[in-house]
Amino acid sequence: MLTSARQTLRTPFARLARRLHSTANPPRVLVTGSLGQLGTTMVNTLRAKFGSENIIASDIKKPSIEQRNTGPFVYADVLNYRALEQIVVDYGIDWVVHFSAILSAAGERNPSLGLNVNITGFQNVLDLAKAHNLRLLSPSTMGAFGPTTPKDSTPDLTIMRPNTIYGITKVHMELLGEYYQEKFQVDFRSLRYPGIISADSPPGGGTTDYAVDIFHAALKHNSYESFLDAGTRLPMAYIDDCIVGTMQLLEAPQEALTQRVYNVHACDFSPQELAGEIRRQHSDAFEIAYRPDFRQAIADTWPRTMADEAARRDWGWNPVFGTADIVRVMLDKLGPVYAATASPATTAEPLVEELPAAVVAS
């Protein structure tokens, strides 16, 4: 497993693209929320496979010079249907990958924004898919489950009674997408992401962000204060596996799909277990303390593990990064960033002092 993971790391976008089948007639794809954690990597992977000119990145933020120079970028507010429709028509869009969303913790800080972006924004792209015969992939989340959902090996079809704005809006998204598929034959697809770990972008207002924060703190201070309890086990995945899985579902033939929403699960661990692996690979002296905040109540409603047999069977979901692989890759990627500035301080400062009121990202 580790060999495959390290090979993927060396040339991420080209190698991620090569893990997927080629196409002679590339689609034109619009990616919303393209400057977020997942959007950035997804755009680069799509461009490596289908050609830069065929992938239209969009967001409400200003891209970096590097992002602007890799291919087409347009300003797109997902709350503006007519502006989105003009992009679809002007660029001849065939597929939409809809990443724009307000994440779990940020949604609890600003419920009205979460409802507006996650519901109205999705409604707009769904109606565009209906009007213009587009394939639409809009990711869901393990946050769509709730406190009464079975916690272990959570199946695709089960009790879904979330008690967060993020989860509620994602259940709405899943059900409405399935309705449009059944009623209007819209080609809607979705997968329920676990916590996603990446070294390439800062946390975006999610409850699993500790699993990214902890690496920055370990390399900078050799200690970390977790906002989740020691034993809080949650499903996780490295970003490369998530991108490959998203591409696999996006490209899968309609006849291969036995359902429209799929669980995906790569590995699972608790803050205590992750800290133990960091000690083994980084420093025996690494220390972790626990001070749960409001995100603990969110995490307590989520699965510990998810069953993903349907995704493996229907479109080949096959993650290669386990917990030890993720730790090694994160340390390898972030280590050089902190090597020149590492301090001997023993008290960790938070990577993000205050969660943003609004985060439109993956």
Cα distance between residue 122 and residue 128, in whole Å: 10
Q: Half-sphere exposure of residue 306, counting CA atoms within 13 Å on the CB side?
A: 29
CA nearest 145: which of 97, 112, 104, 91?
104
CA nearest 186: which of 251, 121, 130, 259?
130
Q: Given its phi and psi angles, is residue 11 left (phi above 0), alpha (psi -120 to 50 degrees) or beta?
A: beta
Sign of CA dihedral 224, 229, 232, 235: negative
Cα distance between residue 84 and residue 87, in whole Å: 5
Cα distance between residue 65 and residue 209, in whole Å: 27
272-278 contacts at long range (C-beta below 8 A, 24 or more positions apart): 272/230, 272/231, 273/233, 273/323, 274/211, 274/214, 274/323, 274/327, 275/214, 275/224, 275/226, 277/323, 277/324, 277/327, 278/214, 278/215, 278/218, 278/327, 278/331
Does the annotation mark 338 as catalytic? no
CA nearest 290: which of 264, 271, 318, 313?
271
Options 75, 81, 91, 166, the catalytic residue: 166
The residue whose two tokens read 């661990």 is: 269
The number of beta carbons lying within 10 Å of the beta carbon of residue 110 is: 19
Which residues are the active-site residues? Answer: 166
